[in-house]
Structure 1
Amino acid sequence: MTTTTEQEIAKLVSASTKLTEEVALQKDRLTGAANIATTKASESASHAQKATEEAAKAVQISGLDTVDAALAAREGEFVGNAVSNATGSRMKQILDANGNYNTMVSIPCFTFDDIGMADLLGTGVHPAFLRQDASIIPEIWVGAYTASNKSNKAVVQGGADPWNTINFDDAKAKCAEMGSGWHMITAMEWSAVSLWCLANGFQPDGNTEYGRNHAKKFQSCKRMDGKAPNDRTGTPRGLCGTGPDSWRHDGTPFGISDLVGNVWEWIDGFKLVDNKFHVASYSGQPEADWTATDIGITSGSGGAWGSSTLSGSDPILKQMLIEQVDATKTLEGGLWFNAVGERLPFRGGFWYDGSNCGLAALSLSFGRSARGSGVGCRPAFIAV
């Protein structure tokens, strides 16, 4: 028969055994947790090392001193990817040789048949999309805004004050300085954008009355002087792209802005010399090689572009929107010219030209050295 003492000893042994097992179990759990923590710490260290190596690589590739600087330098690329991937967007940021990102809009190649004007303007591809060797340019990238001045370099950037008080030769040089394929917009490229608008039944509005539109007075932009729309003091030049979507060539946020009004834009590719037109045969042709015609302007200065007359007719002048045809007479804008000496063109109109502003607005009143607070330029780009 088991005594009370033996029973108590047995209970103690059993309890001791259970305690030993529990201690062992807790030890195993702690060991496992410690192993997991060690593994996580090792993984974190590995990730940290990798991040450090990638950061160092970013700094090395960019040539900048810090990771923040390297990331800031790529901000335009990040924004550009976001914009170009937006539904319906043909806008993207393009890096130039000066290290600046530029907001550009694609105008895809089209023929005169595509826009229903083959019987009036010719057949085949619009000349803006033809290289010197007659090969086709798939698309032209046109500045979404007029150029602004960034450290004496041209850049296409929204919200900036348009570069102004720049003459023809300087404007052309600043656009070319942006690198291979970059240039100041040509007469044929301006024509391509304008005819695209006509074919789509749309003509953009713009800053035509001191920071607002003369006909739709509720449409306004941010003036560079910070004053209210239609304030007749100060400088009512609008900051690039700050007007409504109706001020863009396609009526969308992804269109080409400020083609109408705000500042006149120097145009490359033709000029008037002693009232005779000289025209380029292709984009980028040296000015000395432009073809001299015997055609000049006989009437229309100070009036609507559609009412002007020329002394002759030429297919290139029609395609450049210098000579009118029935389909293009509906383009809005006035005409000014001086028949004496060399006169270089600018188009689009000025912030107080009212109804004389428009895609067809054309001034041939000034020489290449002219400068003014209402004259700027617009870069374009063709991939080589």
Structure 2
Amino acid sequence: MSIEQKIAELQQVSAEQTTASQAVVQEVSGKMAAIDKKTNDSIAKVESTYDQKANGLTIIATDSYRKAVEHNSGGRNTVIYDAQGNPNIMCVIPRFNIEDLGLTALDLGTGVHPAFVTNGAPRGEILVGKYLASSPAGGSAVIGGPQPRNTVNYDTAKQLCTQKGDNWHLMSIHEWAAIALWSLANGTVPRGNTNCGRSHEAKWETARRADNGLPGDTSGTGRTDTGKGPATWNHDHTEFGICDLVGNVWEWIDQMKLDDGQILTTLDNNPAVAEANWHRHPAYFDSTSDNHSGAGNNGSPVLSDSVTKRNGPADDDSNDYPYMDNPHFAAITKSAGYTPNELLRRLLIESATTATVVGSILCRNYGDRFPLRGGGFRDGSSAGLGTISLGSSRSHSMSGFGFRPAFFV
């Protein structure tokens, strides 16, 4: 055999070995791919099963918590989880007729209170935060024990409520008034933290202060933890009522404002109505003086059909000019041309008598002013279910300003 023949034979053998090796590689690769696929499928199945079981356990846990709260409260409290996953303990407020309250001296008319009506359609109940909003990660929550969220302006308070998801909203002027009137009718008007960790009316009623200070000590921070006060600080004087409506921190309220002294509200409890479309009532807070000097108290406001004396420039949202004040919102006078307004009486902005819930009124009849109700921990007898401050612009923020979410079912 020649050298050329041997070389050709070796090349043939090498080619056959290469082909065989490639076949083995392909066979092994195919088997490895099949093994990888089975492994990946098994891992995915295990992960899917784990996720399903974890989600199921979460649903069971949260549902059990809600059922426990409802069972222990006889259905008067429930738990709603928001879009951030935070729990919110809510008080269930059933619809009532105004005439059934028996508050005839207040001249409130008849029919369903507007808190239970949205765009003309009645609701069977509303859910209102049992506690002031606090500050968990990612938003706000309504739970007992922590300090209330504070140092928020109107827009922030409203946004923190709406970002909780569908049907969430900042507590409205309608909801506040309905609860206050119900408490008055039932003889359960609450006290609260109105004297630096205690009630100014019943000084033995106390709760833990933010600074752990002594009740009544005017130094330091006298805010109390949410829901830590006695049952007499709740709207129904039971442990299942709405806590801390009076005192502690002022609460931003939605669906009402002053525009250069004119009163604007929604006509019923409808947070979907744009602010630009709120109803302009023929009702104004007038002043007895046109003084623009300083930023002090310029006397009591007057309910009127127009503003004849303004204490600051129109459209000026600053606090650089005088304000008006009266220790009892129901005691302010009405001008000769003013026409009494039933809806404003139902909202505890106007009153037919001083025999109603107590509380002061403060207002400025220049610029846009948004309501805060209830009073703060230093406000003593000025705080109350009837208390309303209409002196702050939407951007005003203080450590004494908080808020309370509400929910539609």
Is this a same-fold pair by TM over 0.5? Answer: yes
2:134 paired residue number = 148
1:44 paired residue number = none
CA drift of 1:273 comes to 1.2
Q: Which runs of 5+ in 1 are unaligned?
A: 1-52
Task: With the length of structure 1 as denominator, give the TM-score of the two structures.
Answer: 0.79
Write the deviation string for residues 334-376 of structure 1: whole angstroms up to 9, x where unpaired: 1111111111100000101001111000001111100000101
Amino acid of the residue matched to residue 264 of structure 2? H
Moved more, 228-237 or 215-224: 228-237
* 3-state SS of 2:385 partner: coil
Question: Could you tell me how far apart the structure 1 residues matched to 2:117 and 2:50 are?
Answer: 40
1:50 paired residue number = none
2:391 paired residue number = 365
2:100 paired residue number = 114
1:128 correspondence with 2:115? yes
Write the deviation string for residues 111-132 of structure 1: whole angstroms up to 9, x where unpaired: 1122124681122111111121
Of residues 239, 243, 247, the one that matches 1:261 is 247
2:164 paired residue number = 178
Of residues 314, 319, 322, the one that matches 2:346 is 319
Distance 1:174 1:209, change over 3 A: same
Of residues 316, 328, 338, the one that matches 1:304 is 328
Question: Could you tell me how far apart the structure 2 residues matched to 1:96 and 1:118 are?
Answer: 40
2:155 paired residue number = 169
Distance 1:125 1:369, change over 3 A: same
* 3-state SS of 2:140 partner: strand
**8 Å Cα contact 2:329-2:350 kept in structure 1:** no
Distance 1:141 1:58, change over 3 A: farther
Question: Could you tell me how far apart the structure 1 residues matched to 2:371 and 2:62 are?
Answer: 33
Question: Could you tell me how far apart the structure 2 residues matched to 1:351 and 1:95 are?
Answer: 30
Of residues 294, 297, 300, the one that matches 2:282 is 294
**8 Å Cα contact 1:310-1:323 kept in structure 2:** no
Distance 1:118 1:213, change over 3 A: closer
Write the deviation string for residues 13-34 of structure 1: whole angstroms up to 9, x where unpaired: xxxxxxxxxxxxxxxxxxxxxx
- Which residues of 2 match residues 206-225 of structure 1 at below 5 A? 206-225=192-211
Question: Could you tell me how far apart the structure 2 residues matched to 1:229 and 1:125 are?
Answer: 41
* 3-state SS of 1:346 partner: strand
Task: With the length of structure 2 as denominator, give the TM-score of the two structures.
Answer: 0.75
Moved over 3 A (4+): 55-59, 73-77
Q: Which runs of 5+ in 2 are unaligned?
A: 1-44, 287-299, 302-324
Distance 1:224 1:281, change over 3 A: same
- Which residues of 2 match residues 33-52 of structure 1 at below 5 A? none
Distance 1:75 1:163, change over 3 A: farther
1:80 correspondence with 2:66? yes
**8 Å Cα contact 1:297-1:310 kept in structure 2:** no
CA drift of 1:58 comes to 6.9
**8 Å Cα contact 1:240-1:257 kept in structure 2:** yes
* 3-state SS of 2:98 partner: coil
**8 Å Cα contact 1:112-1:118 kept in structure 2:** no
**8 Å Cα contact 1:94-1:104 kept in structure 2:** yes
1:348 paired residue number = 374
* 3-state SS of 1:114 partner: helix
CA drift of 1:57 comes to 5.3
**8 Å Cα contact 2:192-2:244 kept in structure 1:** yes
Amino acid of the residue matched to residue 296 of structure 1? Y
Question: Could you tell me how far apart the structure 1 residues matched to 2:53 and 2:351 are?
Answer: 53
1:277 paired residue number = 263
Distance 1:57 1:218, change over 3 A: farther
* 3-state SS of 2:180 partner: helix
CA drift of 1:151 comes to 1.6
1:375 paired residue number = 401
